Structure 1
């Protein structure tokens, strides 16, 4: 009997063995009934059997083995993906879930080989096709499981970021009340200022974290454009970034009309991260230069600093989330976040304003981030 036919005739027996094995995966299996343990096993097996009976050329087989072939078995993919999602939901870890497929493969081959009297070349082909189908199902289940893990992590981070806002606000309000109502000596005032600065930096980190999670969960960055002067926003951001840093020596050059319709809060967030990045990675006591120029329907911002250039192989992933430069020192002044989200947030803000961003970094010329924004942006 060919393997595909054997699977169809013995599917219930195979699924029984699947269930018996799944029942040993504790502690998750301890609270699962028979239906949950069996899950999509029957659908996966029957879809694998149909896939094995589908005509396949040598080139198609090679492409499938490399994961590049056309989608020929959507039912198998769907059943396997659903299995991966549900196994994550009930508490299986990834190793436990993949062990089910290892057991399934071994069970089917063991039972089928025991039923064969005289092995033939066609049986070898059947085994190849069966292994292809199981590998495909395993890949789909693993991908779906990993996606659920990623989503769960993002939701956890969103809850964490949201819940951190309240205690941070309490710290900020308490320092404000201390300054207004208590008589503080010089040392105490220094401590209060340090607390305020720390709370402000933590608030920026929480905001960056929430923006990152929002984008990961599939929500675009919302903006509320208003008429604003970008030069004024740059000056405010420079003053705030350099507060308490005696060595900070920024300059701002403005050319032409730099007014437009943008989201003031989002651009403030972008400017703080750009300036903080330049201060952090710039040469000590070096200058940070902001240049604004308005031309037609666009306004261009350039942020320049001298110092160690960005490695050429790092530029490709510079705006990726949770990626930090190997040379990054979070103890240096001007660090807006230690999560590796600053440049990611900058890119998100620029994209939300339908703009573009570029970076050029050389040892001789320093590093320049260039942001080009349409002058009038619509809300999204």
Structure 2
């Protein structure tokens, strides 16, 4: 019995397949109504030619399994499926509409192929399998590119928003600072100005966290500028600031007389502020938060410990992931001071930029401890002061 192969059918019937693709695309509203024929067919032809070529070449079982999962081999250039996803996103398609196009393409090709198979000829089942694998691969590439572009757009929007909010917020901080220092106005206005200042500073921290978060997702990462600094001075500065802001909380600090290293002073201060603030928020307020710093010839170690609700073991692995929050019962006052849920993620990124790591342990006996470990001496610097 003569075989009717799918690769040849696709090449010989490209126009009718593309017409079916176009007819379906025009049913998707509203984007399809705004595109001409060329745009509607944009990359279908290249995808179909690529599929036809793929059907004609030998394929191992491993290659077949990989393609069915969307993990087939690819070159360095963008595939037609990836380019198609970009065009559809810019045209206003949702990801559901994008997927529906591939479903329609699959049905169109197979339906026309079966209908065109002459009597006395048989279709090759292996061709159907190979075709489905190729469509699955193209679909996976399209969805991955679509999702990537959406995330990039969202992060760019957040970065621009955070940047544009800095100037008006800076005006609020400056104005409230001026009123706080005034001696010729009633004390009640000074109190209002102080509350405005504290609220603006919290907003400023949220905006800085947002900008840092988008930096990690847009490519460049969090910038650091390292120099020789005192670990002791940074710890004392951050702890004293938080003692002022949280007078009800005991914060114990244990540091050696001297401990120097090469690091970005403001960024490590940001990490400590995040870690200690997190310990205050989720710890028991009648027990102390303990901060310890020590050093060896090669490393600096800073730990922050609090007593409170134990973090479940299954949540420890994801605690540094962005937008992850540990559920805890906190007062309304502390709820107002919570962040976007990205403080720990940013802290980890900063420490990793220094070549270090942040780890967490939690138990009923020892409490919850975040431990920051980073090298004392990055490459290319002389030895810092001994600690």
Question: What are the within-5 Å matches in structure 2 for residues 60-99 of structure 1?
Answer: 60-67=63-70, 70-71=72-73, 74=75, 78-99=79-100
**Is 1:11 the counterpart of 2:24 in the alignment?**
no
Q: Provide closer, same or farther for how the CA distance between residues 95 and 45 of structure 1 changes in structure 2, counting only shifts above 3 A.
A: same
Give the match for residue 341 of structure 1. Answer: 342
Query: Aligned-pair distance for 1:320?
Result: 1.1
Give the match for residue 217 of structure 2. Answer: 216
Does the 8 Å contact 1:360/1:369 carry over to 2? yes
Any idea what SS the aligned residue of 2:255 has? Answer: strand
Partners of 1:365 and 1:329 lie apart in 2 by 21
Give the match for residue 127 of structure 1. Answer: 128
Instruction: Structure 2 unaligned segments of length 5 or more: list them.
Output: 381-387
Question: What are the within-5 Å matches in structure 2 for residues 1-380 of structure 1?
Answer: 1-58=4-61, 60-67=63-70, 70-71=72-73, 74=75, 78-118=79-119, 122-181=123-182, 183-255=184-256, 257-327=258-328, 329=330, 331-333=332-334, 337-377=338-378
Cα root mean square deviation, aligned: 2.4
Please give the TM-score of this superposition, normalised by the length of structure 1. Answer: 0.92
Does the 8 Å contact 1:6/1:112 carry over to 2? yes
1:301-355 Cα shifts (integer Å, max 9, x gaps): 1111111111111111111111111227584539765211110111011011111
Does the 8 Å contact 2:249/2:285 carry over to 1? no
Does the 8 Å contact 2:232/2:257 carry over to 1? no
- Which consecutive segments of 4 or more residues in structure 1 shift more than 6 A? none
Q: Provide closer, same or farther for how the CA distance between residues 329 and 121 of structure 1 changes in structure 2, counting only shifts above 3 A.
A: farther
Please give the TM-score of this superposition, normalised by the length of structure 2. Answer: 0.90
Query: Aligned-pair distance for 1:61?
Result: 3.1
Instruction: Structure 1 unaligned segments of length 5 or more: list them.
Output: none
Choose 318-327 or 185-194, whichever is displaced more: 185-194
